[in-house]
Structure 1
Amino acid sequence: MAPETGASRQERQTDRRNAITEAVMTAGSIRITELAERFEISTMTVHRDLDELESRGLLRKNRGVATALSTVLVESSDVYRASRELPAKRALAAAALDFIEPGQAIMLDDSTTTLHLVPHLHEKRPLTVITNTLTVMNELRSVTGITLLGLGGQYYNWCSAYMGRITTAAIAGLRADVLVMSTSAITDGVAFHQTMETVDVKRAMFDAASKRILLADHTKFDKRALHAMQPLADFDAVIVDAATDKRHVADLRQSGVNVVIAPRSRAAG
């Protein structure tokens, strides 16, 4: 049997932590010993996983019990978001690739939807990629033909991204050809996010890009978040998946939004 690589170990760890998150959120609370038995791992490994998940605001660990947090921060965590609506996110990312041309400088936000665009960027090389997301930086740091500009600042573990005044100041000094971003929620034709730090960075990216592309799967129309970021009509294109309610699509188009529906067939890629 071939030895397990660091990448495969990391993937297995990520999958396990996603599964633990699901188990705790489904049960509300669950004993750590039960998690160890269910996933056939040591209690020490469970504690390490729970410590990481707790640091990302997904749950709380206390007296041998893991408890889910009933807060909107749970849905903001990249660990939670990464496993949601995968076919739709892949379809949206594939459709977004049509808006990118070789030689451009593109800006990517911290969304897990945009992350699905990253493996396809080699098709558009040469590119300059600007991002505040550590996950994207790690994916692209050794890709030939891609110049990577990493935006620093205060690191937020729950979203694996840099945000704050240092980040927005760095963005203000740049100009990108295309911004590809997603949103937490859509209400009354406006993109919303749960934290002001997130809004500040995305708004700075929006202002620094010539063309702005928003990716929004159908679930975003059923969610609510606290802070308004930008009206959808201000984006050059809003890409939605084929499962989006036709009523939402019609309302957006009536409001002057350029809506692009990602083909279902692309979701399988």
Structure 2
Amino acid sequence: MKDSAAEGRLSRQRERQRAIAADVMADGSMRIEAIAEKYGISLMTAHRDLDALVARGIVRKTRGVVTATSSSLVEASYLFRRGRQQAEKAALARAACALIEPGHSVILDDSTTTLHLTSLITGKTPLTVITNFLPIVEELSGEPDITLISLGGTYYSWANSFLGHMTVAALRDLRADIAVISTSAITDDICFHQTQETVDTKRAMLDSAATRLLIVDHTKFQRRALHALAPLTEFDHVIVDWNTPDEHVDRLRRAGVAVTVAQPAPRTRDRR
């Protein structure tokens, strides 16, 4: 009986911690007092739960506030990522759109950066768009001049997309003109992601495209993740934002990578 009761408490604790992590990732940050109130637990219990999440690299604690983070093992949720680096992502999307032509078949991955492309590519129709990202499907489903191919598979709520072997199998039967993808982290000029399912799916996207385009904001050069996807030299074109240090841009160009530095919209321009 004691073992059963202990297992029940541990199960409830883990479930509560998963729920807390989901809340923090969705909002970006939460006050610890608000977490304790929402879950009907003491501040001490809330701190213990959060300490467990901090130890796993999922959140950070500072002065009564807990903040979402992406780590080498855990990717931040779609809702959290969507609100980050908005100006940079918009600039990357504009630069990427310039490389897409009417009549192209285009693979778009499940990154919030490629999501910015949806409002732009409607001016490049007719197009065929292939994606595993539910928000892109929802955005483009009513466009009459876009043939939309939605990739199925196992749905992952944190990514709001379909990943895994069924998605990979569908991609193997397709050949697109261009694949536009982003990445979670860049280390030693290699793209990395936190999950193998993501890597497998994006690898299949790259293998199914004649032209491979990577779009990344400057923060990706500051992050780490566990699973390698591809070296930057494997891409036909890499687009970075204006805040990317020159040393990264120069190094990639010396390695023979075609690099475009996307510039901000005039009203947000603050350097070069």
Q: TM-score, normalised by structure 2?
A: 0.76
- Counterparts of 1:76 and 1:159 in 2: how far apart (Å)? 8
Distance in 1 between residues matched to 2:166 and 2:228, nearest whole Å: 22
Q: Any idea what the Cα deviations from partners look like across 1:2-42, whole Å, max 9, x if unmatched?
A: xxxxxxxxxxxxxxx78972332xx4x3325867xxxxxxx
1:251 aligns with 2:251: yes
Task: Give the gaps of 5 or more residues in structure 2.
Answer: 1-22, 39-57, 60-64
Runs (4 or more) in structure 1 with deviation over 3 Å come to 17-20, 32-35, 66-71, 73-76, 266-269
Write the distance in 2 (CA, Å) between the matches of 1:183 and 1:227. 11
User: In the alignment, does 2:239 pair up with 1:233?
Assistant: no
Contact 1:30 1:67 in 2 (8 A): no
Judge conservation of contact 1:104–1:127 (CA < 8 Å) in 2: yes
Tell me what 2:122 maps to.
122
**8 A Cα contact 2:106 2:180, kept in partner:** yes
* 1:116-160 CA-partner distances (Å, limit 9, x unpaired): 001111110000000001111011111110010000011000000
Identity of aligned residues (%): 48
Alignment match, 2:33: 30
Residues 19 and 178 of structure 1: CA distance in aligned 2, closer, same or farther (over 3 Å): closer
Instruction: State the match for 1:131 in structure 2.
Output: 131
User: In structure 1, what is the equivalent of residue 215 of structure 2?
Assistant: 215
For residue 214 of structure 1, give the secondary structure of its aligned residue in structure 2. Answer: strand
- State yes or no: 1:21 paired with 2:24: no
Distance 1:164 1:218, change over 3 A: same
Q: Which amino acid aligns with 1:188?
A: D
Distance in 2 separating the partners of 1:70 and 1:212:
28
Report how many residues are paired.
224
- Say whether the 8 Å CA contact 1:211–1:236 is kept in structure 2: yes
2:247 aligned counterpart, secondary structure = helix
Instruction: Give the Cα separation in 1 of the matches to 2:199 and 2:33.
Output: 34
**Which structure has the larger Rg?**
2
- In the aligned structure 2, how far is the partner of 1:71 from the partner of 1:265? 28
Cα contact 2:28–2:68 (8 A) shared by 1 = no
In structure 1, distance between residues paired with 2:179 and 2:96: 10
Give the aligned CA root-mean-square deviation in angstroms.
2.7
Deviation of the 1:189 alpha carbon: 1.0
- Code of the aligned partner of 2:205: M
